[in-house]
Structure 1
Amino acid sequence: MIEVKDLHKSFGGAHILKGISTTFEKGKTSLVIGQSGSGKTVFLKCLLGLFSPEEGTISYDGKIYSELSGDQKSDLRAEMGMVFQGSALFDSMTILENVMFPLRMFTKQSKSEMQERANFVLKRVNLAEDDHNKFPSEASGGMQKRVAIARAIVNKPNYLFCDEPNSGLDPKTAMVIDNLIQEITEEYNITTIINSHDMNSVMEIGQKIVFLKDGLKEWEGSRDNVFKTDNEAVTDFVYSSELFKKVRQMYLEERV
């Protein structure tokens, strides 16, 4: 579990995060949503330990990050997996070598042990063995996302962070990636936090949703709560398309 209490972060004279408090539970996919400039990226970087907030605390299963020593912070970072928006694979490495990279960084495993673990997680994300020795440039966008997920979980993280994991994907592939992230979250009991603007993801895997607006936590709830809320800021954001307006109307009519 990750617990955030009264988080504040500023840059220069700009107050970006304005007292955010929330919790993210193990084994659940939590989505952070909001318009550009709402503070989503800064919030995620604070959770990753890349930014230090001026006020407030972030606790990882009871360990307050700001109170840890340098070595303890390094150990905690080794428990984190990250899926970047553009996958961020190393072009000069094969798919297998990309997935082995965190093991080289954070473990003392032998080469054969690292290869065995990397092959295991690549199989878990449904990537054919024939593809393991390809380079990222030879892989489709969907394949690259699978590789990025495999790399993020290869070191058996307790916390998984995803920044716009569906960016650049067609709707069908995006749904496959969403479902894969949720399956892995539940299977390995990971605390998963996803920054997203994709409303399909919200409705598909949003077990918890945190909506940020102007650096504040405007609203939080589940995907079912999204249909029920009368918070105007949330409904304006989520139901900006006619499709989702119709979906919400159908949902409400079924419960009359």
Structure 2
Amino acid sequence: MIEVKNIKKSFGDQMVLKGVSTVLDTGKTNLIIGQSGSGKTVFLKSLLGIHTPDSGTISFDGRIYSDLNADEKRELRTEIGMVFQGSALFDSMTVEENIGFPLKMFTSKTQKQIKERVDFVIDRVKLIDAHKKKPSEISGGMQKRVAIARAIVNNPKYLFCDEPNSGLDPKTAIVIDNLIQEITSEYNITTVINTHDMNSVMEIGDKIVFLKNGLKEWEGDKTQIFKTDNEAVTDFVYSSELFKKVREAVLKEGN
């Protein structure tokens, strides 16, 4: 569980986060959504320790990040997996080398132990016959699978995903969404996903935090978001005719 209490963050005279509080639950996919400029990227980077909030606290299962010493922060970082927007794979490495990289860097595992773990996560994300291939030799969807496998290879407690469906076709995006949700539930991970993809909201929105102008405007789950009368949320969610029809169907079913 990640608990955020009243965090604020400014850059110069511009206050980007204006006092955001929420709880991001373990074993669930927690989605952060909002328009460009809403503060969701700064929020994610604050959770990751890239930005230091001006005030407020972020705690990881009771450990307040700002209270940790350097060694404790390093230990916490080993518990975090990250899936970057562009996958961020090493072009010169094979799939198995990319996935094994965190184990070589941050653990004392033997080469045999690394291979066993890499083979396990490759199988878990269903990467077939890809061990020896370079990122340029596989599809965008497979590259995302490699990025997810690398993020979970060290058994993280916390998984962060920044626009994981960026650049993917809708069918592949759904497959990646479902894979992230399966892994989250299976390994009881606290997963936080920055996204603008409303299909992700419909598919895997166990918890949704909607930011607007640096504030938490609304939070709920994928069912509640289609029933809310919050105008800011409905303007964002129902900007397309498809989601207007979904909402109409949900409300009709509720009646």
TM-score normalised by L of structure 2: 0.99
Which structure 2 residues correspond to residues 71-82 of structure 1 after superposition, within 5 A?
Answer: 71-82=71-82
* Deviation string, structure 1 residues 28-48 (Cα, Å, up to 9, x no partner): 001000001111111000101
Name the CA distance, whole Å, in 2 between partners of 1:164 and 1:234. 19
One-letter amino acid matched to 2:53: P
Offset, 1:229? 0.4
- 2:219 aligned with 1:220: yes
One-letter amino acid matched to 1:70: A
- 2:52 aligned with 1:56: no
Query: Which residue does 2:251 correspond to in 1?
Result: 252
* Deviation string, structure 1 residues 88-124 (Cα, Å, up to 9, x no partner): 0000110000000110111000111111101110110
Offset, 1:86? 0.3
Offset, 1:13? 1.0
One-letter amino acid matched to 2:118: A
Query: Which residue does 2:127 correspond to in 1?
Result: 127
One-letter amino acid matched to 1:65: Y
Name the CA distance, whole Å, in 1 between partners of 2:49 and 2:123. 30
Query: Which residue does 1:90 correspond to in 2?
Result: 90
One-letter amino acid matched to 1:167: S
* Deviation string, structure 1 residues 128-164 (Cα, Å, up to 9, x no partner): 1x21110000010000000000000000000000000
Query: Which residue does 2:118 correspond to in 1?
Result: 118
Name the CA distance, whole Å, in 2 between partners of 1:17 and 1:253. 37
Name the CA distance, whole Å, in 1 between partners of 2:163 and 2:109. 31
Query: Which residue does 2:182 correspond to in 1?
Result: 183
Name the CA distance, whole Å, in 1 between partners of 2:100 and 2:66. 30
Name the CA distance, whole Å, in 1 between partners of 2:130 and 2:77. 29
Offset, 1:17? 0.4
Secondary structure at the counterpart of residue 41 of structure 1: helix
* Deviation string, structure 1 residues 60-112 (Cα, Å, up to 9, x no partner): 00000000000000000000000000000000110000000110111000111
Query: Which residue does 2:209 correspond to in 1?
Result: 210
* Structure 2 gap ranges (5+): none
Name the CA distance, whole Å, in 1 between partners of 2:134 and 2:173. 22
- 2:18 aligned with 1:9: no
Name the CA distance, whole Å, in 1 between partners of 2:58 and 2:254. 38
One-letter amino acid matched to 2:32: V
CA root-mean-square deviation: 0.5
Name the CA distance, whole Å, in 2 between partners of 1:253 and 1:56. 41
One-letter amino acid matched to 1:115: K
Query: Which residue does 2:40 correspond to in 1?
Result: 40
Name the CA distance, whole Å, in 2 between partners of 1:254 and 1:230. 16
Which structure 2 residues correspond to residues 148-163 of structure 1 after superposition, within 5 A?
Answer: 148-163=147-162
Secondary structure at the counterpart of residue 223 of structure 1: coil
TM-score normalised by L of structure 1: 0.99
- Of all paired residues, the percent bearing the same amino acid is 72
How many residue pairs are counted as aligned between the two chains?
Answer: 255
- 2:192 aligned with 1:193: yes
Give 4+ residue runs of structure 1 displaced > 6 Å after superposition. Answer: none
One-letter amino acid matched to 1:160: L
Offset, 1:12? 1.1
